[in-house]
Amino acid sequence: MSHERPGDRIKALRGERKLTQEQLSAAARISIGFLSDVETGKSNIGADKLLDLAEALDVSLDYLMKGEAAKAEQKDVPLELPASLVRLAVQVGLTVNQARRLLSMQQQIVGFRHDNKSTDLESFDWNALHKSVKDLIQ
């Protein structure tokens, strides 16, 4: 079976993890019908919902989008949020999950850049990133 579309990869991962559509849709906070439509290619999925599914399936957003990144980026290591991101989270009232999403988005963006492989997370402009993606992390 080919896993060329995000929906194909989602369905395959759901099967590997022995999850029902009901279980995965609840974990990703989407409807069962929408999940079914995405898996069958009847509906496209936005970045915000794709990120929810990536977190629920414990894979990278990159893998769901392109099928290229490490398939099982396990989250066994505790996530450490940079102090500058924590300050922004407190200032604008972000939840821990929203701050994690912001960090994940930043890491995805930096991962696509070939000219800047390492970014100092303390000096990163979290406020600018938050302003540009705040609707996606709500």
Residues 18 and 51 in one domain: yes
Which of 15, 36, 66 terminates a domain? The answer is 66
Residues 15 and 62 in one domain: yes
60 falls within a domain: yes
3-state secondary structure of 55: helix
56 falls within a domain: yes
123 phi and psi angles, rounded to 5 deg: -95, 0
Q: Taking residues 98-104, report their average pLDDT.
A: 82
107 phi and psi angles, rounded to 5 deg: -65, -35
Percent of the chain at pLDDT > 70 equals 80
pLDDT given at position 72: 44
pLDDT given at position 104: 81
Q: Which residue has the higher pLDDT, 93 or 95?
A: 93
77 falls within a domain: no
pLDDT given at position 51: 86
75 falls within a domain: no
Percent of the chain at pLDDT > 90 equals 21
106 falls within a domain: yes
Q: Are the beta carbons of 74 and 65 closer than 8 angstroms?
A: no
pLDDT given at position 2: 53
Q: What is the mean pLDDT of the chain?
A: 80
Looking up residue 33, the CATH number of its domain turns out to be 1.10.260.40
Token pair belonging to 73: 């980026």
pLDDT tens figures, 18-71: 989 999 888 888 999 999 999 999 999 888 888 889 888 888 888 888 887 544
- Domain count for the chain: 2
Which of 15, 31, 66 terminates a domain? The answer is 66
pLDDT given at position 112: 53
Distance from C-alpha of 37 to C-alpha of 8, rounded to nearest angstrom: 11
71 falls within a domain: no
pLDDT given at position 133: 80
Residues 22 and 60 in one domain: yes
Token pair belonging to 80: 């450490």
In the DSSP assignment, the letter for residue 45 is -
Residue 121: domain span:
83-133
78 falls within a domain: no
Per-residue DSSP letters for 5-35?
A: SHHHHHHHHHHHTT--HHHHHHHHT--HHHH
Q: Taking residues 104-120, report their average pLDDT.
A: 65
Residues 16 and 60 in one domain: yes
pLDDT given at position 4: 84
Residues 10 and 58 in one domain: yes
118 falls within a domain: yes
